[in-house]
Structure 1
Amino acid sequence: MFITNKFNERVFHLLTFICQGSSFLNPRAYAIMHREHHAYSDTEKDPHSPYFFRDVFQMMWRTAQSYKLYEQRLKEPEPQFKGNYPEWRLLDYWGSTHVSRLAFGAFYVVFYIFFATHWWMFLLLPIHFLMGPIHGAIVNWCGHKYGYSNFDNGDKSKNTTPFDFFMLGELFQNNHHKRPNSPNFAAKWFEFDPVYPVMKFMHWIHLIRLREAYL
C-alpha cells in the first residue's frame, strides 16, 4: 500500500510492539499468513476461513497454531509468500516471549489500579490482554460470514458494515479482497474507512508514500 524509509519503518515497528503489547504479532509471520489468506481465500488452504470450523474458537486455535510455525520458523512458506516484510529479529523475538506478554499484562493491571474509577472497569482487562486475537476473530469470522458484497471475488468475503469505526475499516473484507493493495478499504460512496484519511495525512507530511494509483 505504501513505502517508507528504513528509519520510519523501524519507528513504526517499535510503536507496533509498544501498542500491541501483550498481543504483539510478528510482522513476518503475519504477512505470510495474510498473503496465504488472499491467495487461498475460503478454501482448505486458507489459514483462517470460518467455513472449515464449527465455531470461531476452533478457527482461532488453528490460526494460532499456523502462526506459531511461521513465528518460530518451524515451517517455510511457499516461495511467492516470502520477502518484502519488515524484520527486526531481536524485537520480534522479545515481543513474542511469555515474559514480554506477561510484563505488558502486569503493566495493564497496575495502570488500572492507579487510574480505574470503578470496579467494573477491571472487567475490561481481558480485552487488553487478548486484543490481537479478539480483533482477528472478529475480522476473519464476521468479515467472511456476515454482510454484503460489492464484488464477486470468487470467495465468501463480505463487507460487514458500511461504517466500520469499530474495526477501523478491517471489516470491508470484500472490498479489500478485490483491491488488496489499496489503502482505502471503502469502495462505494456510502462506505467510510476511518484509517484512510490518516494515511493520506501521513503521505502529505512525507512519513509514507502511498501508491500513486490510490491517491
Structure 2
Amino acid sequence: RHRIMEMTGLPARDLRMLDPLLSYPSTILGRDRAIVVNLEHVRAIVTAAEVLVRDPSNPRLRPFLQELHARLALPDAVTTNPATDGGDDQGNVPISGSAKIPPFEFKVLEVCLEHTSKCMETETSVLESEAYPALDELTTKVSTSNLDDVRQIKNRLVQLSGRVQKVRDDIEHLLDDDTDMCEMYLTRKLAFQGVNNESSVNVDSNKHAFPDHDHDHEKYVTYS
C-alpha cells in the first residue's frame, strides 16, 4: 500500500475505495499523478504510463483484462483519433495531418467505461427477459408467488437504475467540469513538468501484464 501511495501520490482514503471488501459508489477521481477508477467491479489506478487493476483474479474482470490488454497492445497509429484542438502543447504527438495519439490514461478510461456499460446493458437484457414472462404470468393468474416474483424483479430494476444513474451522473459531472478534466490529463501535466516517466522504459513491445504484490497482500495486475 505504501509503495503504491508513494508511486502515485494517492492518499490512503483513495486506496480504500478500491478495496473489494468495502462498498463504495461508482466514481472517477482525477488526482495530481493518477486517476482512481471505481466503476462497479472495475477498480483501478491509472497513471500516465501504466494502470494497476485491483483484484485481477475476479472472474468478472477477465473480459475487461482481455480487452484492456488487446487495446493497449495496438500500435498507436491504429488508435489515433481526429484532433479537435491543440497540438503538441496538449501532450499528444501528432501522427500526420490532424491525427494524434490519444493519451494512455484516456485509452484506459475508454476501456473501463465501455466494459462497465456493456455489463450494465447485459444486466438490463437479462432483467428484461425475466420481467416480461413474470408480468404475463401475473396477468394470467394473480397469486402470492407471482406477485413476489414481480416484486423481486422490480427491486432489482430499481437497484440497477440507481447504479446506472450514479455512473451517468459521475461522467456528466466530469465532462461539465473543466478543472476535473484537466486533472485527468496526466500526459499533458507530465509534458508541462518536463518529467520523463521511467516506468515504461523496460516494458517489452508486447506490453504483457505482470503481477504486483505489496506487503499488505493487496493484489494488483499492472499494464503499461
Class of the TM-score when normalised by the shorter of the 2 chains = 0.3 to 0.5
Indicate the structure whose relative CO is greater, using CA pairs within 8 Å and at least 6 residues apart: 2
| Structure with a larger share of its residues in strand | 2
Structure with higher Rg: it is 2
